[in-house]
Chains A and B, each alone.
Chain A
């Protein structure tokens, strides 16, 4: 943190603390899902908070603090960690065109049995399934399902129109549902589930 920001206005720093620290778990959660690595997530969250403090004045009165922090975190993750080789790439912009055009939206509509109910999976398994989603879908799924933001808030964070958010969410959920059904059948002998789909 630069000395300039910390020393000049302690009252401002305290206001920031009170506004931003309550969202620490939520911000850390998002970082874990975006970066899929605990120590990178910690670093990113710290960087996010320091940046947020520097830009605290840009936060308008009515704006919600949490989505604002998420937007900063997403930027930190993309810029700082997108090029690191030891983490899987987090670079939505490079990935989105490819992923959105190559992953068919309705594939699962044809090849999953409609009579079968989705079963409950434990939290750890679900976290694993979410982590396996492509970045562009993972971020909207996490913002919606885990962080419980509205479409408009998500659109602002990922800087895309609401319609794009909706279609990414639809594709993301379709992929997740497919993975979910597969995970339910992972204990069955190889190929048996696939066989039944034919």
Chain B
């Protein structure tokens, strides 16, 4: 790969828009070219600096109020809580509408479980937020699953499956040890474009529950259990993408790719 090609493609690499094959080619070129390496380093630095909240503006309260006024609301039912939505859900089913049924199927995923589940989801989101602050996202930095997986040996009482999903659009960037619910868990870190996905893997505690999606503070947590392990993926990517991540990982795990 020439410098000129690299100059364009290194941006796609930073932005997580490059397929694995080209990514390797760019990385190989950069390893031997100080000039391109300096560019990559600088652009990465700029990219990181520009994700700071200080670069975003907040809409003035007056504007928000004006829009709220301009957009009429029907009198909203006083308690906006789940009772209402569940009732309308039932009506949807009653009407036998395909659309409502599909919508309902999505909504069901957001049903909140027990208080314990809720606390753990809170823990998961806190761990995710912690990992994004400072330099503690990864202890072992590697896109190679055969480097990340052995790193957990002796650090945990489980051997988490570590699978690079770059071909499926989720790049493995490393792993670290974290704590959920007071117990050490494996955190396997992936990237989707500029978004970080933390996948927490621990031993199943208590009764195994089905897959569930929950939202908290703007983050989505997608949890499922398999073969005595609990998987909890958390990210700010949209719920469909996170679910896609879960599905692809599950497929890979079950086919024994690790």
- Asked if B50 lies at the interface with its beta carbon under 8 angstroms from chain A, I say yes
Q: Which residue of A lies closest to B35 (CB)?
A: A114
Say which residue of A41, A167, A177 sits within 8 Å of B42 (CB atoms). Answer: A177
Q: In the complex, are the beta carbons of A151 and B43 less than 8 A apart?
A: no
Q: Is the CB of A16 within 8 A of B71?
A: yes
Number of A residues near B (Cβ < 8 Å) is 55
Q: How far is the CA of A174 from the CA of B76 in the complex (A)?
A: 50
CB-contact partner of A173 in B11, B35, B41, under 8 A: B11
1/0 per position for B38-56, CB-CB distance to A under 8 A?
A: 1101110111011111111
- Judging by beta carbons under 8 Å apart, are B7 and A122 in contact? no
- Please judge, given known A-B contacts A118-B45, A173-B43, whether A146 and B56 are in contact too, CB under 8 Å: yes
Within 8 A of B (CB), among A102-122: 105-106, 109, 114-115, 117-118, 120-122
Which residue of B34, B50, B64, B73 contacts A24 across the interface (Cβ within 8 Å)?
Answer: B64
Contacting residues, chain A, for B205 (C-beta < 8 A):
none
Bound Cα distance from A109 to B42, whole angstroms = 12
Q: Tell me the B residues contacting A by CB distance below 8 Å.
A: 3-4, 7-8, 11-12, 15, 17, 34-35, 37-39, 41-43, 45-47, 49-60, 62-64, 66-68, 70-74, 76, 193-195, 238
Interface positions, chain A 12-50, Cβ under 8 Å from B, are 13-14, 16-17, 21, 24-29, 32, 38, 41-42, 45-46, 49-50
B63/A28 in contact, CB under 8 A:
yes
Question: CA of A145 to CA of B73 in the docked complex: distance in angstroms?
Answer: 34
Q: Which residue of A lies closest to B66 (CB)?
A: A46
Q: Is the CB of B11 within 8 A of A166?
A: yes
Interface pair B70/A1, CB less than 8 Å apart = yes
A80 within 8 A of B: no
| Also in contact, A24 and B71, with CB within 8 A (given A148-B193, A150-B193, A173-B43) | no
Interface bits A121-132 vs B (CB < 8 Å: 1, else 0): 111101100100
Known contacts A13-B72, A118-B45, A121-B49; decide if A45 and B11 are in contact (CB<8 Å).
no
CA distance A177 to B3 in the complex (A): 18
B56 and A170: CB pair below 8 A? no
The interface of chain A, by Cβ under 8 A from chain B, is: 1, 6-7, 10-11, 13-14, 16-17, 21, 24-29, 32, 38, 41-42, 45-46, 49-50, 53, 64, 105-106, 109, 114-115, 117-118, 120-124, 126-127, 130, 144-146, 148, 150-151, 166-167, 169-170, 173, 176-177, 180
Q: A29-B56, A114-B37, A126-B50 are in contact. List 13 more A-B contacts (CB 8 A).
A: A1-B70, A13-B71, A16-B71, A17-B68, A17-B71, A24-B59, A26-B56, A27-B59, A28-B59, A28-B63, A42-B62, A118-B46, A180-B42
Q: What residues of chain A lie closer than 8 Å to B41, measured between beta carbons?
A: 117-118
CB of A93 to closest CB in B, whole Å:
23
The listed residue (A49, A106, A115, A170) touching B67 by CB distance below 8 A is A49
Contacts of A53 in B (CB 8 A): 71
> In the complex, A45 Cα to B56 Cα: how many Å?
15
Contacts of B72 in A (CB 8 A): 6-7, 10, 13-14
CB of B74 within 8 A of CB of A25, answer no
Tell me how far the C-beta of A62 lies from the nearest C-beta in chain B, rounded to whole angstroms: 9
B165 smallest CB distance to A (angstroms): 17
Cβ-defined contact, A114 with B50, below 8 A? no
Query: Which residue among A10, A118, A176 has the maximum number of chain B CB atoms within 10 Å of its CB?
Result: A118
Alpha-carbon gap, A131 to B72, bound state (A): 35
Q: Which residue of B lies closest to A141 (CB)?
A: B50
For the complex, give the distance between the alpha carbons of A173 and B52 in Å.
Answer: 17
Minimum CB distance partner of B56 in chain A: A29
Query: Shortest Cβ distance from A95 into chain B, in angstroms?
Result: 21
Nearest chain A CB to B191 CB, angstrom units: 12
Nearest to B50 among chain A residues (CB) is A145
- Within the complex, the shortest CB–CB distance from A132 to chain B, in Å, comes to 14
CA distance A114 to B193 in the complex (A): 27
* B71 & A146 in contact (Cβ 8 Å cutoff): no
Complex interface: chain A residues within 8 A of B34 (CB): 114
Closest 4 CB pairs of A and B: A123-B54, A114-B38, A28-B59, A145-B50
Q: Are B193 and A24 in contact (CB under 8 A)?
A: no
Please tell me which one of the listed residues A6, A41, A49, A126 contacts residue B49 in the complex, with CB atoms under 8 A apart.
A126
Please judge, given known A-B contacts A24-B59, A42-B63, A169-B11, whether A122 and B54 are in contact too, CB under 8 Å.
yes
